[in-house]
Amino acid sequence: MSMFDGDTPQEKRHRNARTEASAAVWRIVQDDARNHGADPATWTEKRIIPGFTWGENTPLPEHQFAAARALTKAARLQEYEAIRHARGRGTSWEQIAGWLGTDFTEAADNAGRSLRVATWMYALAGTWPGEDFPYDRWVYEPRLDWPCYTCGARIHERLPENGVKLDQPEHTADCARHAADRAAEQDRWDELDDADDLPTNPIPDVARPPFAPALRLATPTTEEPTP
Ligand SMILES: [Zn+2]
């Protein structure tokens, strides 16, 4: 019986990820060495632990760090792409928030932020609820780009707080998904209306400050994701 037999699926996944990341760091370091015409042996060291007769080859710390940093960015990009794909096929922000776990939901509660807004911010910037969102929304009007798999339109999703009609205006007029989202949203607003005697649309029209011509965020790849 292996010592890992009692692992949960999540523990197994984390262990697999550590194994894969470790192997990937090695490959990147060796590839770096080859690309620089260097002897891979000079990029590694035999780490000798005092008192032990064995040692292990390991990348020199600066090379190990550089490879790990590149992997961190690449992994973050995978998250971003997964979220864009999920939005395209109709996965709700609340469902995506569920992937981030109960810690995320609690942090959103504590920050007084709706799950959809908190998760949209995480998608764009990798920020946890309560952390500073690094984009000035009035200056840059950050948007999450994804293709709607129902109507084929390219959506530039604004901060999801004003309703799907305003936040995702690019859907085609006959997009079934957009119609269903709007109907579900109207139901939620009607319920709020009944429950709390709020105005039909709980988000009042606010005068938005003028902002500079929107600089759309294509992808976060050129920016360092928040560690
Ligand atoms: Zn659509």
Spell out the domain ranges in the chain.
Answer: 10-72, 90-218
Residue 154 three-state SS: strand
How many angstroms separate the alpha carbon of residue 99 from the centre of ligand 1? 23
Alpha helices in the chain (DSSP H): 9-35, 61-88, 93-99, 102-111, 115-125, 137-140, 164-167, 176-196
Q: Is the pLDDT of residue 226 over 60?
A: no
Distance 12 CA to ligand 1 centre (A): 37
Distance 178 CA to ligand 1 centre (A): 6
**What is the rounded CA–CA span in Å between residue 209 and residue 137?**
11
pLDDT tens, residue by residue, 106-145: 999 999 999 999 999 999 999 999 998 888 766 678 899 9
pLDDT in tens, 52-107: 766 677 888 899 999 999 999 999 999 999 999 999 999 999 999 999 999 999 99
Which comes out higher in pLDDT, residue 117 or 194? 117
Distance 92 CA to ligand 1 centre (A): 14
DSSP 8-state symbol, 48: E
Q: How many CB atoms lie within 10 A of CB 34?
A: 12
User: How far apart (Å, rounded) are the C-alpha atoms in residues 121 and 159?
Assistant: 8
pLDDT for 28 beyond 90: yes
CA of 74 to the centre of ligand 1 (A): 29
User: What's residue 2's pLDDT?
Assistant: 56
**Residue 20 to residue 221: CA distance in whole angstroms:** 22
How far away, in angstroms, is 39 Cα from ligand 1 center? 53
